[in-house]
Chain A
Amino acid sequence: MELERVCGCGLTAGNGLHEHAGTDIHCTTTIPFMHPDSNLEILMARYQEGDFAAATVLIDRISPQLHRFFVAQFGSRADADDLLQETWLRIHRVRHTYRPGEPVLPWFYAIARHVRVDHFRKAIRTTAREQRLEEMSQAAVTVPRASGQADNLEALLEPLPESQREVIEMLKVAGMSLEEVARATSSSVGSVKQKVHRAYKKLREKMDAMGHRKGRNGGMQ
């Protein structure tokens, strides 16, 4: 899936800026220099018009963020792979609900959250059924976290409750604004701020404890 398939006029990966307007031989339109999110909006509009090339660029651009969002929630790349596919199928079914001019990322993340909640519900139902039948150990059913499956950010966010973790993930990884996170989570900006405040408090405690431990270890050596 080469990015050049969509002429590259601002629709390239990376920082998403319009780096070669009119110079690409495939380029049919000239789009002025614009914010990366504007590019996503253009891509989304083309996707709605049935442009498969725009859809593939969107998949390339958005999938790593969504995948990381799921890894942060579940800790398992296999689960994240499944959820990513499920999310894109859902996105495709409801792509008409995106309205041009609205921010794109909250729309994607709102659907991703919905898929994640569905997955949780199914997991709970499956778990309950399996426990009744086999009295499986809790450890086998719960999502495997850490143990080399999650990278640094995910390990860092591990002590946070899910609601705080997703907010930090959206703010720091997806680079969304407070307003956009509020839209994605169907809550108010005030509620998002409160979650961030609580998350930072927990992170501070964790990092201080780590620093304290390191300091003590260092002193003993």
Chain B
Amino acid sequence: MRDGEIDVVLEMAARAPHEVERALLKRVADSIQPAMRPVHPLPRTSVLAGGLVLICSAVALAGAARAGFNGFEKMGLLERALIFSTLGMLAWVAATEFVNEMIPGSRRWVSAGALLGMGSAVLVGVFALLFHDYHTDHFFSVGIVCLVTGVLHAIPAGLLSWLVLRRGFAVNSVSAGLVAGTLAGLAGVGVLELHCANFEATHVLVWHTAVVPLSGAAGALVAGALRLRTGSGAPWARRPPMN
């Protein structure tokens, strides 16, 4: 049997009428009628994504302003340009995907897992290109401090991002959590790049980059836990009132 013949069989079967009881349709209409009010559609993806990138930049700048811009001052022009343009681009992609996750039926350019992998890989590539000092001092003790600093700054970035998209509706909350965590993790890396003046290659490659997958995993875990708790697949979205 050829594909065309299967098409014909399926189309004929699909043409068979499928009735839904009028009483059921009336029940559905009656159930929404009392809560029938005008609503404002969400803004365009670019507007929301721009807002998210601004929030992440603000968190990174605020964190560095508090801790000091030591890293930024020690960097050369090439390092500054390459690192911050890469972070900006990754944040834009992650923000766009986060918006898409929060709007049902949106086009997906990249899956949540691929975004996390791609973001981490790009950062590793850029850091490997720029930093060549493979000598290490206090690898773990200094590294853990950076990792914690990055993740701690990712938390407000994630929370504020959620505030921006609180009217959205995630059809796959774990995936949305993973993307939100990735975006927040990029804000955390931003703080580290502005603040941390330790340019040892292994330190930057391991501990700075690790903020992204760790935040992503944390975002997915939180979203999964909330879903189990609420019994709904959309913990990222505040259950909107029946307005």
Interface residues of A (CB under 8 A from B): 1, 48-50, 52, 55-56, 59-60, 63-64, 67-68, 71, 81, 84-85, 88-89, 92-100, 102-103, 105-111, 113-114, 117-118, 121-122, 151-153, 156, 168, 172-173, 179, 182-184, 186-188, 200, 203-204, 207-208, 211
A50-B36, A52-B33, A207-B1 as given contacts; A109 in contact with B233, CB under 8 Å: no
| Other-chain contact of B104, A89, A111, A182 (Cβ < 8 Å) | A111
Q: Distance in Å from the Cβ of B192 to the closest Cβ of chain A?
A: 32
Q: B160-180: which have CB < 8 Å to A?
A: 167-169, 171-172, 175
Q: Please determine whether B18 and A85 come into contact, CB atoms closer than 8 angstroms.
A: no
Partner of A55, one of B9, B29, B167, B239: B29
Further 13 A-B residue pairs, CB within 8 A, beyond A94-B237, A97-B169, A106-B105: A52-B29, A55-B36, A56-B29, A81-B21, A85-B24, A92-B32, A110-B104, A118-B233, A122-B231, A156-B13, A168-B10, A172-B11, A173-B14
| CB neighbours of B242 from chain A (8 A) | 92-93
Chain B CB count within 10 A is highest, among A99, A100, A186, for A186
Contact B1 A97 (CB under 8 A): no
In chain B between 210 and 243, which residues have their CB closer than 8 angstroms to a CB of chain A? 231-234, 237, 239-242
What are 23 contact pairs spanning A and B, CB under 8 A?
A1-B22, A48-B39, A50-B36, A50-B39, A55-B29, A63-B24, A67-B18, A67-B20, A85-B28, A89-B31, A94-B240, A96-B42, A97-B103, A97-B167, A99-B42, A105-B105, A110-B105, A111-B171, A114-B172, A173-B14, A182-B107, A183-B105, A204-B6
Which B residues are within 8 Å of any A CB, using their own CB? 1, 3, 5-6, 9-11, 13-14, 16, 18-22, 24-29, 31-33, 35-42, 44, 102-108, 111, 167-169, 171-172, 175, 231-234, 237, 239-242
Within the complex, the shortest CB–CB distance from A20 to chain B, in Å, comes to 23
Known contacts: A52-B33, A103-B105, A107-B104. The answer to whether A186 contacts B171 by CB under 8 A is yes
* Nearest A-chain residue to B106, judged by Cβ: A183
Q: Which chain A residues lie closer than 8 Å to B241 at the CB level?
A: 93
B240/A50 in contact, CB under 8 A: no
| Minimum CB–CB distance for B107 against chain A, Å | 6
Taking A103-B105, A117-B233 as contacts, is the C-beta distance between A88 and B44 under 8 angstroms?
no
Docked-complex contact B16 and A153, CB < 8 angstroms: yes
B6 touches A207 (CB 8 A): yes
How many pairs, one residue from A and one from B, have CB atoms within 8 Å of each other in the complex? 158
Q: Which 7 A-B pairs have the closest CB atoms?
A: A106-B105, A107-B105, A110-B104, A153-B13, A50-B38, A96-B39, A94-B169
Residues of A contacting B42 in the complex (Cβ-Cβ under 8 angstroms) = 96-97, 99
A211 in contact with B104 (CB, 8 Å):
no
Contact A211 B108 (CB under 8 A): no
Q: Which residues of A contact B232 (CB under 8 A)?
A: 118
Q: Are A96 and B167 in contact (CB under 8 A)?
A: yes
Assess the A1–B32 pair: CB atoms within 8 A: no
Expressed in whole angstroms, the Cα–Cα distance for A55 and B37 within the complex equals 11
Q: How far is the CA of A102 from the CA of B232 in the complex (A)?
A: 25
**Contacting pair B10 A172 (CB below 8 A):** yes
